[in-house]
Structure 1
């Protein structure tokens, strides 16, 4: 009986040791080396965030950030693979190694800096308020008691939460969140919500496609921000190479070329 208990104890010990060894190997494989050492870089993106990254009518992934990522891949001699992800899980996807870069209108915030290392900022943006053209809403204060939509886990929600006194007066005490901005804007068009707070770059592109006479952007907004590319914490080698390549692309006119293609002018801020 004693021998059986001893053998059982040894077996349990071996199983636990093996499990710990496997976890250690897993963590080691993710933490050792740099993303820069990989031949293929996986870009995690929200594929419904026009014009930064989205699927066109033929189902092909395209957009401003997509073109920039492809150009960066050429500069670093890397193959770029685009991976649509659940945007609410973007930092988890990066940390687990499922993706190598978060690149799709990714706003730099202090909260996100705790989870990722950002590239140098490359684009400015605002969190604007959009309503239907016949709406009686004309200011931030008018949002009190109204149904306000935004993308879940987006910087739009974070920006509104900072204005907590106003935010808590929204219908329901908070914003109504959606999987992506397109769904929020569709609910606005259908009259199910009263306003949407979203990135100005996306909103203006959407309005241009759907008809500028149908919507209005209020003068008030929820603040300025900048876009950056998210990389794994501690991967200084990748961050340094990325920023250097971006700077070279700017000096060579590539950022200007891509920006003019999508926006009609150079709105990038890397010089």
Structure 2
């Protein structure tokens, strides 16, 4: 009798165990995939002609504006242009207030520590602009002079790399934008301005009798689009869009509209 009872108890235990397994809670459903991005927010300095600036109707225009619009169209994305404090551009990008820095952004080893760059799309020089008729003819002539550049720009880095020249200045001033620096050059508060060639020559062409560009410069650099390092999907897509724009001539067409020639690298 005890043996029969024991067998019955074992059978009951097995049945309960089976029921317990069947009634256990179902596995949690996988989290839904994040929604695909529909917009890219481009951070820029809106006083940086001809790359990005406001026209007489206060509309954002420029070479980089047109390049970004074309790339976004190819990616099926809406593009929003957000003017930012250019000296705080890396914080704007890492803080996800913008998705890309696209406004004549120079590729440097220092910036590569925090920014993922696309392949360069154009070359640029840091030129020296002086008033027309100035006695300054070379970098050596900047000794004892008051020199200016835009704060946070690659011009500042380029100047400081040439330590002997930098230390020879009487004073080095930085400005919120290149327009203000060039205005101070015109009024005599500065004796020279170091600026991106694409910007400097744009203003010199507007007032050829007011400015002169020296033969010397502070080096050659390359422009690229800056993205967050963890934004690998956008980086890959944007690289392809830019490569396609170079290959099919769309980038060259935009360059010719703004510079009169194809300056795409």
TM-score range, shorter chain: 0.7 to 0.9
Q: TM-score, normalised by structure 2?
A: 0.86
The reply on whether 1:266 has 2:265 as its aligned counterpart is no
Alignment of 1:2-17 (within 5 A): none
The alignment of Structure 1 onto Structure 2 pairs a total of residues equal to 233
TM-score (norm 1): 0.84
What is the root-mean-square deviation in Å for CA atoms of aligned residues? 1.3
| Pairing of 1:1-271 with structure 2 (within 5 A) | 37-172=36-171, 175-209=172-206, 211-269=207-265
Equivalent-residue separation in structure 2 for 1:107 and 1:249 (angstroms): 20
Structure of larger gyration radius = 2
- Residue deviations 1:166-198, cap 9 Å, x none? 1012113xx200000000000001111100000
* Distance across 2 between alignment mates of 1:156 and 1:118: 19
The whole-number CA distance in structure 2 between the counterparts of 1:82 and 1:37 is 20
User: For 1:167 and 1:246, how far apart are their aligned partners in 2?
Assistant: 36
1:148-181 Cα shifts (integer Å, max 9, x gaps):
0000011000000000111012113xx2000000
Give the distance between the partners of 1:89 and 1:80, measured in 2 at CA. 21
Counterpart CA distance in 1 for 2:238 and 2:126 is 27
Q: Which runs of 4+ in 1 moved over 2 A?
A: none
Unaligned runs of 5+ in 1: 1-32
Q: Which runs of 5+ in 2 are unaligned?
A: 1-32
Please give the per-residue CA displacement for 1:188-213, whole angstroms capped at 9, x wherever unaligned.
0111110000001100111112x212
Aligned equivalents of 1:139 and 1:128: distance in 2?
Answer: 11
Give the CA deviation at 1:37. Answer: 3.5
CA distance, structure 2, for counterparts of residue 213 and residue 55 of structure 1: 24
Shift of 1:135: 0.7
Which residue does the alignment assign to 1:15? Answer: none
Q: Which has the higher helix share?
A: 1
